[in-house]
Each structure stands twice: as structure tokens, then as C-alpha cells.
A and B are shown apart, each in its own frame.
Chain A
């Protein structure tokens, strides 16, 4: 069997068909700049933005800022946010370092207070504690992940945002693990900002991502410089998306992401089949003695587990080096959640499937695991 790739929560592979050609075609074309040449030319960024706005079901595509990844988007949101002196940010205990580290930086340099809220054994926020924290701290912003990248547990975003709005907090959603896999609906759910990446379940190229900014939010740009238009201004233009669209962007990659969005729209993911494979893995691993983290509710195609008596890193290495199976082990850049899962010492072994994972691959992974354990 060829290599089996089950690390899609980190980077999806394979990608959507046709993106290589879209990227290559854009590189091969003369790089006209839309709005700067005086006539109609291809606009990969604008087209991609419209597709993303469709997916997010928002009315105005100019409110989608294109970025290099979710981390860049989160930094734009968190560093550009108009923090008040002594403000509080409430997060969940399942955040990725892409959320936590910008906040830690702001805590150090801007006196921000960060209050993480406990998550359950599936990595999902405890709603009673969420509500209590909002009432206690009156945060200026809540920032939280749509789904834990460690457990796959999906948070009830609409309920969380409703409670946040009741205390006057702005809302920032990290949809890195969900965009392309499940619905992300900022207008319906009262989400003010959504950060996402193109290289995971959107099946696009690495180096693509974005940030949706609602009309209620006024961010300061983090990066300033040339915009190609309104060049007489000393400050960045106020209109979106140009306010955040600084320097030359990665047009070929966004052409690739647009192609991935087109393909995904025409080919909806077989979610029932993915779920069946995930459940087969979970049941069989449990039978083999693995301590599988149960989702207990809606989830992404992620399965995390530990193996009593085994170092998780060793299991990952054996799977890769002996069996050509690519998964991920460790803390998965989300250190806090392991305190709630009881896995702080080593982290977990994480299998993350995609729409392209086959029954044969699942069976091969299980036979490898049987070989390791027995």
C-alpha cells in the first residue's frame, strides 16, 4: 500500500482536483493588477473572496480579508482590535497557540487579562462555566475555536456568541478546523470575526487563509504600506478589503483556493462515510486497549488517543517509519486542553481523516496498530 495520510487536521492532502493547474495558470499569465491597469483583467483574489463570502453566507465579499493563513488572520484581529485599558479576553481551554500566543503577547505588552474557560473531556466548552465567566469578567472580546484540533469536539458557536453578546463582548471565531467541513455562519451566529485557513478542510494550497470582519468591528491595520490605489493618502485607506490588503498578494495560491472552493461546492463531502470510518477506527482502537477520547457530540473527523504503556511519539514514529502512515503526535499546539484531557505529559496520537480516506486505508491503519500492540 502507498503511504496513508491521516494528518488532515494539520494540512489536508490530497488537495481538491484542479488546484495545481489553477496555480500554474496564474503564474504563467501576465500579472495585471485589477483596478490599476484601466481595463478588465482577471482578479483571482476578488473571485476567491466572492466564493468565500458565498460559503460564509455573508452579503458583502469586501469584508473578507485574504491572509496567508489563520494565524495571520488571528493576529490581524487580535492586534488590530481596539482594546480598552485593563480589558479582559475570555477564551476556551481548547485554544490553539495561534489564538493564545497573540493574547499572551497582548497581556505582556498591553496589560490584557486572559480568562480561559474549562472544557469537558471532549474538548468542548462547559456552557455553564462559559456563561459564568462572561457574567463575571464582562470581556471586551471572546475568542474561541469552532472545534478542538485535538479532540475534534465542535463548540455550540451560536449559543456561545448569544451569551457573549448579552454582556457586550465582541466575538472572534477560529474556524481553522471547520471551514470546508461544516457550516460556518457568522451573520446567523452573531460572530463578529472569523479567522480561517485554506490548507485544511477547504482543500486549498498552503499560504492561504482569511478573516471575515463584520460591519460592527473597526480594526486598525497591523501591516501598513503600498495598496496600489489611493496612493496619495499617508494612512491606509478606510475601505475594505484594501485597508488590510497591503503589498503584493499570493495570487496563484488564491486562484488555487478558488478552484478548491468551486470543486467542493460541486462535490459535497460524503460526511456519513467519513463518520462511519472514524467510528470504525474509534471502536477498533478501543478494543485494542487504546484510551480514545470520545467526542460525545458533533465533531470533525479527528480521533485522539493514547496507548497505555506506550510513548505517543514512539507510536507516531513507528507508524510513519515502519508502516508509511502519516499522523500526528504530541500537544498539537494546543497545550491547555491536555490539562482537561489528562494528557499533558505526552499529548495524544491524532488521526484526522479526510473525504479521500478510504476503507482500505482505515483497515491498513488498524492492522498496523494491531501489529504494534500485539
Chain B
């Protein structure tokens, strides 16, 4: 199982469910491949100076970040954030076996 540290990200809005996941490894193509498998859309802008990716899962969860970084930002849908968070974290823990 992969280990990660999860921290709530505060922004201007009271009700948002945004979390940062600090991974034990750098985000690379293997991570993007995994993200493509679990998402319905996954875009990676490799034309940017530091490539940026953004994926949307079937339940509305969004995963965003930078290739080469060690953290991703995850935005859970407002209406069902707890369930979605549990599901994503379970997935994430099996990302690198």
C-alpha cells in the first residue's frame, strides 16, 4: 500500500472540500496512467513549462497537480464529500504496489 499525508486546504469558501495529498514519491507518467484508469477525463498539459494535469472521476471528484511534484490537490463534490474521499483514498493507497 502507498502511504500519503492528507491535509485540508482552506480557501475563501466555507463549504468546499479541498484536500492536499502529499505522496511518498514524485508524480510521474505511471501516476498519470493510473489516474487515466480511474477517471472519466484526464488531461495533462505537457506543453506547459511544468506539465499540469487535471482529472475528473465518475463521482465528480477532481484530481489536479503538476508532473514532478510530490503532492496532488483533490476537490470532492460538495454533496457527498465524505464517501468520495473514502473511495479516492482507498484507490490512492493502491496506486503504487
A248 within 8 A of B: no
Contact B12 A318 (CB under 8 A): no
Cβ contact within 8 Å between B11 and A318: no
Asked if B12 and A322 make an inter-chain contact with CB atoms under 8 angstroms apart, the answer reads: no
Q: Is the CB of A313 closer than 8 A to any CB of chain B?
A: yes
* B61: interface (CB < 8 Å): no
Interface contact A322-B73, CB-CB below 8 Å: no
Are the CB atoms of B48 and A317 closer together than 8 Å?
no
Most buried by B among A321, A324, A347: A321
A193 and B50 CA atoms in complex are apart in Å by 48
Q: A323-B48, A323-B49 are in contact. Are A317 and B64 (CB under 8 A)?
A: yes
User: How many chain-A residues does the 8 Å CB contact rule pick out?
Assistant: 14
In this complex, the interface size class of chain B, counting residues with CB under 8 Å from chain A, is 10 to 19
Contacts of B48 in A (CB 8 A): 318, 322-323, 371
Residue of B nearest to A313 (CB): B11
Choose from B11, B47, B49, B52 the contact partner of A330 (Cβ within 8 Å): B11
CB interface residues, B 1-56, toward A, < 8 Å = 11-13, 45, 47-52, 54
Is A322 touching B11 in the complex (CB atoms < 8 A)? Answer: no
1/0 per residue A306-323: CB within 8 Å of B?
A: 000000011001100111
Q: Are B64 and A322 in touch, CB under 8 angstroms?
A: no
Give a binary string over B72-90; 1 marks a CB under 8 Å from any A CB, 0 the rest.
0100000000000000000
Q: Is A211 among interface residues, defined by CB-CB distance under 8 A?
A: no
Complex alpha-carbon distance, A323 and B47, angstroms: 11
Contact of A331 with B by CB under 8 A:
yes
Q: Are A330 and B50 in contact (CB under 8 A)?
A: no
Cα–Cα, bound, A371→B51 (Å): 12
Contacts from B to A (Cβ < 8 Å): 11-13, 45, 47-52, 54, 64, 66, 69, 73
Among all A-B residue pairs, the 4 with the closest Cβ atoms:
A330-B12, A322-B48, A331-B12, A322-B50
